[in-house]
Amino acid sequence: MASFHGNKINPSRFGLGQLKFYAFLIPLGLFMILPIVFIFSQSLKPLNELFLYPPTFFVHKPTFENISRLLSVSDITAIPATKYLFNSLIVTVIVVILSLIISAMTGYALSKKKFKLRKVIFEVNTIALMFVPAAVTIPRYLVVERLGLINNYLGHILPLLALPVGVFLIKQFVDQIPNELIEAAEMDGAHDLIVFWRIVLPIIKPAMSTVAILAFQMAWNNTETSILYMSHETLKTFAFYMTTLTTTIGNNVAGQGLAAAGAMLMFVPNLIIFIIMQSRVMDTMAHSGIK
């Protein structure tokens, strides 16, 4: 059973014994890529292909018409698209960084620090995960209004920060770090900050990268805060702008092409972040020194 050796990512040789794994991995892998192919192919379809029945998966005569129409439409609106893009970038960057810090601190404390409420708080966090987000829309609006965050950048940011999924995932990963490792570091005189920064964070990198991806998507694709909390057009985000473009201007047959192009444009940043982060996601547990 030589195949159980080592933690190298790619073995140097390709053996026949690996063939049986490929038999499963390649077809399943193709299924996983399909949606991405689809979203690109859809945005390149000319109108007559978009309305084919039964719908086709791949584009036959690719055209950039949808995308160029989308961009030209955005030229004639009063506020330049770059303004929305700028808002989205600021909001997304801040949300990702802050929610990472908060989730990591909370997950670490809930896993390794002993204090009375920690079990209760983790359960409460898990319970919060279960709640239908739509049901708290109205009360959340009231809170945001009372905090004076209407028409304020913070209104985009603060409601997204307490990310229950993040705390849940990070705590599960921190649980895997043996207490001895932390105790040994403390014995050597490392205080809390150093333990957290030098030991915990490197080990939970996969979880952190996952949370970063999730937080990015949540912030980037978010239209709710723009619709509910922002009445000044200049404060709204790119995701909101895309939905208005595709619903108001494109609410007709020709709009389907705009919608497909918009979906593609919204999706590309997600894909980029994913590509940047994924190597960290999948590959660190084996090298992190915990076994």
Partner 1 sequence: MKLTKRRREALVGYLLILPWIIGFVLFMAYPLYFSFYMSFNKVLITPYGIETHYLGWSNYKDAFLTDPEFSQKLFLFLKSNVLMIPIVIVFSLFVALLINQPIRGRGIFRAIFFLPVIITSGEVVQELFSQGAATIPLIEKYGIVTMLQDNLSPAWADPIVGVINQFILILWYSGVQILIFLAGLQKVNTQVYEAASIDGASPWVIFWKITLPEVKPFILVNLIYTTIDLFTNGFSDVIKLIQDNMFKTDTGFGYASALAWIYFAVIFVMLLIIVLFFRNKERGVPAARR
Instruction: For the segment 54-93, give every residue that binds partner 1 (CB under 8 A).
Output: 54-55, 57
**To the nearest whole angstrom, how small is the minimum distance from the Cβ of residue 266 to partner 1?**
7
**To the nearest whole angstrom, how small is the minimum distance from the Cβ of residue 249 to partner 1?**
18
Per CB under 8 A, 192 contacts partner 1: yes
Question: CA dist 189 to 117, 177, 221, 290, Å?
Answer: 27, 19, 44, 21
Residue closer to partner 1, measured from CB, 235 or 261: 261
Stretch that binds partner 1, among 61-69, 79-87, 229-237, 274-282 (CB under 8 A): 274-282
DSSP string, 38-99: HHHHHHT--HHHHT-SSPPSS-SS--SHHHHHHHHHHHHSSS-HHHHHHHHHHHHHHHHHHH
Residue closer to partner 1, measured from CB, 124 or 253: 124
Q: Which amino acid is at 83?
A: K
Residue closer to partner 1, measured from CB, 87 or 229: 229
- Residues 77 and 95: their CA atoms lie apart, in Å, by 28
Indicate which single residue of 73, 81, 89, 121 sits in contact with partner 1 (rule: CB under 8 A).
121
**To the nearest whole angstrom, how small is the minimum distance from the Cβ of residue 78 to partner 1?**
25
CA-derived radius of gyration, the chain: 23
Per CB under 8 A, 187 contacts partner 1: no
Total interface residues for partner 1 by CB under 8 A: 101
Residue closer to partner 1, measured from CB, 212 or 235: 212
Residues 1-40 that bind partner 1 (CB under 8 A): 1, 3-11, 14, 18, 21-22, 24-25, 28-29, 31-36, 38-39
- What tokens does 271 get? 């894909």
DSSP string, 192-225: HHHIIIIIIHHHTHHHHHHHHHHHHHHHHT--HH
Residue closer to partner 1, measured from CB, 76 or 248: 248
Per CB under 8 A, 152 contacts partner 1: no
Residues 250-269 that bind partner 1 (CB under 8 A): 260, 263, 266-267
Taking phi over 0 as left and psi of -120 to 50 as alpha, with beta for the rest, 190 belongs to beta
- Residues 73 and 71: their CA atoms lie apart, in Å, by 5
Per CB under 8 A, 46 contacts partner 1: no
- Residues 264 and 276: their CA atoms lie apart, in Å, by 19
